[in-house]
Amino acid sequence: MTAPRLEVHLDRIEHNTRALVERLGPLGIEVCGVTKATLGSPEVAGAYLAAGATSLGESRIENVERLRHGGITAPITLVRSPMISQADRVVASADTSLNSEPDVVARLSAAAGALHRTHGIVLMVELGDLREGIMPGDLHDAVHRVLELPGLALRGIGTNLACQSGVIPDEANMAELTALAVAVEAAFGIHLAVVSGGNSANLPWAMTPGVDVGRVNHLRLGESLLLGREPIGRSVVDGLRADACSLVGEVIESGRKPSRPRGARGRAAFGVPDDRPGDGFDEHRVIVALGRQDLDVDGVVAQEGFEVLGASSDHLVLRTTGPSPAVGSEIRLDVDYSALLRAMTSPSVGRRYLRP
Ligand SMILES: *Cc1c(COP(=O)(O)O)cnc(C)c1O
């Protein structure tokens, strides 16, 4: 079997999705399953949908197109603002997009007209994290513009926190989003079907006992479904599986070596050298055939019995604290979101989708 490779357990992704659908459903919140860390995998999208996600989210149009070519017919939202140069493709393949720029919205309207389609718009509002979003004071102007343009349907409003500045979704900023939705509805005499509160970082807020979620009825979830974790504290969400996605690599060297380098020392190939004091005694080390060329090795976490000592372009060096694997055997590593994303996009990492 090819190594390195990602192993994606679709049944565990389904478990995570179902668990969150069941927990958020009673609060009136729908799950939009975000596939961007999987490059728009139709297999993963199928797992989300089978477990109750009502729509899909993707950040890139080529991934949306991959989902469509893979037979996915569920509603798809482009969760990054469309590029003007891709407006036609966005209207052709995605049902809805998250938007914050008037010029983009105008191009989507023109593209929708040319293709005789209606494109859904969710207007993103900046609530503190300072990535995408319209300033709250400019929201009514933006709503007015969308309502006037042909070929567009204003589906709702949304926000995104915790990505650029680490601002935590909480009662205050979520109440602000609700208040904005209510104000827009009152001012324009319309109903906003979607109030999209955010991403996996919203889960601690949404799961606070007795929480009032206000008008928030939609979360765009990726990391929690794939890795079982919420990004704020990196902790495993209660009841979710953190082993749905893992990385498998092959051992190319295994043996005892001193724990302290010998000789005068300068910079290592990728900056900081391994600077553990080391007791000078031998330790058992293994080298796994993967490195910085393949993925973000800083996001690779050794499983029990191993400790990552460092990585260069093609070598991942670990110390074993348990039984030592033989050369030619495979070892399994956990990945964080960044390592998962980069491994998925790497031409040198294989991918296997598994069901029990
Ligand atoms: C990536 C992304 C998400 C999903 O975030 P997770 O942390 O993976 O749940 C949601 N919304 C937007 C706008 C995103 O870019």
Domains, the chain, in order of start with CATH, read 10-227 (3.20.20.10), 245-354 (no CATH)
| Amino acid letter, 287 | I
- When computed from its CA atoms, the radius of gyration of the chain, rounded to whole angstroms, is 23
Torsion sign over Cα 337, 132, 28, 177: positive
Which is nearest to 320 in space by CA: 281, 354, 287, 271? 287
Task: Assess contact for 320 and 308: CB atoms under 8 A.
Answer: no
Q: With a 6 A CB cut-off, is 79 part of the ligand 1 pocket?
A: yes
Dump pLDDT digits (tens) for 4-22: 999 999 999 999 999 999 9
Our mutation pick for probing the ligand 1 site, out of 126, 163, 216, 341, counting the most ligand atoms within 8 A of Cβ, is 163
pLDDT above 80 (res 281): no
pLDDT at 275: 66
pLDDT above 70 (res 250): yes
Of 126 and 259, the one with more pLDDT: 126
**Distance between CA atoms of residues 71 and 85, nearest Å:** 25
Q: State the pLDDT confidence band at 277, using cuts at 50, 70 and 90.
A: low
Q: With a 6 A CB cut-off, is 160 part of the ligand 1 pocket?
A: yes
Dump pLDDT digits (tens) for 192-228: 999 999 999 999 999 999 999 999 999 999 999 999 9
Structure tokens at 267: 């910079």
Dist. CA 220 → ligand 1 center (Å): 6
**Distance between CA atoms of residues 112 and 42, nearest Å:** 25
Q: With a 6 A CB cut-off, is 218 part of the ligand 1 pocket?
A: no
Dist. CA 222 → ligand 1 center (Å): 6
Q: With a 6 A CB cut-off, is 288 part of the ligand 1 pocket?
A: no
Our mutation pick for probing the ligand 1 site, out of 17, 29, 78, 79, counting the most ligand atoms within 8 A of Cβ, is 79
What number is the average pLDDT over the span 108-131?
98
Q: With a 6 A CB cut-off, is 338 part of the ligand 1 pocket?
A: no
Other beta carbons less than 10 A from residue 289's beta carbon: 15
Which is nearest to 218 in space by CA: 46, 28, 73, 35? 28
Q: With a 6 A CB cut-off, is 132 part of the ligand 1 pocket?
A: no
Other beta carbons less than 10 A from residue 321's beta carbon: 13
Taking CA atoms only, the protein residue closest to ligand 1 atom 12 is 79
pLDDT at 82: 98
On average, the pLDDT of the chain sits at 95
DSSP-derived letter for residue 38 is G
What number is the average pLDDT over the span 87-92?
98
**Distance between CA atoms of residues 298 and 302, nearest Å:** 11
Torsion sign over Cα 179, 183, 189, 192: negative
pLDDT at 95: 98
- Residue 178: helix, strand or coil by DSSP? helix
**Distance between CA atoms of residues 226 and 334, nearest Å:** 12
Q: Of the given ranges (39-53, 158-172, 257-271), which has the lowest mean pLDDT?
A: 257-271
User: What does residue 64 show for φ and ψ, rounded to 5 degrees?
Assistant: -60, -45
Taking CA atoms only, the protein residue closest to ligand 1 atom 13 is 79
Q: Of the given ranges (179-188, 274-283, 335-344), which has the lowest mean pLDDT?
A: 274-283
